[in-house]
Amino acid sequence: MDPYFITLLILGAAMLSAAWVPTILRYFSISYSICYLLLGVIIYLDVDEVPLPDPLWEEGYSIHLTELAVIIALMAAGIGIDKTFSLRGWKMPLRLVSVTMVLSIAAMAGIGVFLLGFDLPSAILLGAVLAPTDPVLSGDVQVAGPNEGDEDEMHFALTAEAGINDGAAFPFTWLAIALALGAGTSEGIIVDWLLNDLLYKIIAGILIGVVVGRVCFYLFFKLPERKQLFKVQMGFVGIAITLFVYALAELVLAYGFVAVFIAAVTLRNREIKHHYHEELHHFTQQVEHLLMVILLILFGGSLVHGILDHLTWPMALAGITFILIIRPLSALAGLLGIPLQMKRKLVISFFGIRGIGSFFYLSFALSKADFPNKDELWSMVAFIVLISIVIHGATVARSVRWVTRKPN
């Protein structure tokens, strides 16, 4: 049998199952990400003749597959948020992106240097790639979609956090790259990082996102209504906008992740109740789910192909500490003073899901510079993503029910 067609058969069957597996697993209160992770493990263990790739050891392959999944997830997240942007209304996610993310990066970088023996660039990179809450795997704790009418502060905060901090973590990734390339901490490196990687790339990404979002709103929402000559109501437009704004931002050396999410939020905010948002979100989310299925299968295969070979007990303990202690405590610190029920704060703090975005950042950084702890970084990040999928996937449904349950 031709291995190519066997591969297509397996991937096609996995994608078809994505239509009904989530509904079935909902009865068992288990996230379907666990199901596809296990499927990947089984495929790679038992089907030797299928040449499925292991992308997590090939940075070039991994970069583009993971970045595609992340930018599409960012578009879906931005369109799905019902709350109009304002500094006051978005206080929670902005706190999570600033206070919480910085504390998490600092804590993991410190653990990397003082407990694991990593060099400083590798330790900073470890903190940076683990900083963002993953927009791809966090669908179970995100908002349901545009105009669903059931968006609460908890789901909003986690969705907006995942949308914002996938771009906000980039400056720290570039700091690790700059230190690795410079082999030191000279003043010139830090100044260039502040002006270019921290300020210019974020500001340019925001501006591009706002402009593209406004232009696309006029082209696909207002112009068809005013001229009544044509009607654009196709869901793939969301994917087209995603690819366009991401590429445009990257071409001018801005942060594409920032531009995509800002464009999505701008597009949604211009006329927040418009029914076309629902179609854009639905199609974009479907593509996101298909990519997620593929990536989870490949990640499952990576687990049996040696990605955890360089994991040590101290690294495993540090990973568990990050998921169960560092993220929750740093998130609670970020939420200090926010008028929100404590159990909702606890759920927000606990569900800092790590996933595909971390793999993108790691593969991206390793393609730009040599890090002495490359193998250890892959093993540790893979382990943390694994335990995040298992722990968060097994508890998300029960946690949401606990928070939303009305008292008797």
> Would you place residue 306 in the very low, low, confident or very high pLDDT band (cuts 50, 70, 90)?
confident
Q: In terms of pTM, does the model score above 0.75?
A: yes
As a whole number, the mean pLDDT across the chain is 87
Alpha-carbon gap, residue 315 to 324, rounded angstroms: 14
Structure tokens at 20: 């009904």
Q: Which residues of 144-155 are buried (b: 16+ CB within 10 A; e: fewer)?
A: ebbeeeebebbb
Q: With CA atoms as reference, report the closest residue to 301 among 56, 130, 4, 64.
A: 56
Q: Which helix (H) or strand (E) holds 57?
A: none
How would residue 120 be classed by pLDDT, with cut points 50, 70 and 90?
Answer: very high
Share of the chain above pLDDT 90, in %: 50
- How many residues belong to the chain? 408
- The pLDDT value recorded for residue 111 is 97
pLDDT at 53: 56
Percent of the chain with pLDDT over 70: 88
**26-75 pLDDT, tens per residue?**
666 677 888 889 988 888 886 665 555 554 555 567 788 899 999 999 99
Q: What is the mean pLDDT of residues 149-166?
A: 84
Q: What is the pLDDT of residue 398?
A: 80
Q: How confident is the model at residue 2 (pLDDT cuts 50, 70, 90)?
A: low
Digit-coded pLDDT (tens) for 72-114: 999 999 999 999 999 999 999 999 999 999 999 999 999 999 9
3-class DSSP state of 31: coil
Report the range out of 11-15, 130-134, 231-235, 265-269 with the highest average pLDDT. Answer: 265-269
Q: How confident is the model at residue 233 (pLDDT cuts 50, 70, 90)?
A: low
Residues 6+ positions from 9 with CB-CB distance below 8 Å: none
Phi and psi at 82, nearest 5°, equal -80, -20
Confidence check: pLDDT of 141 > 70: yes
The single residue listed with the structure tokens 């199901």 is 35
Is the four-CA dihedral 112, 113, 116, 121 of positive or negative sign?
A: positive
pLDDT for 112 equals 96
The C-alpha angle 257, 259, 260, rounded to 5 degrees, equals 65
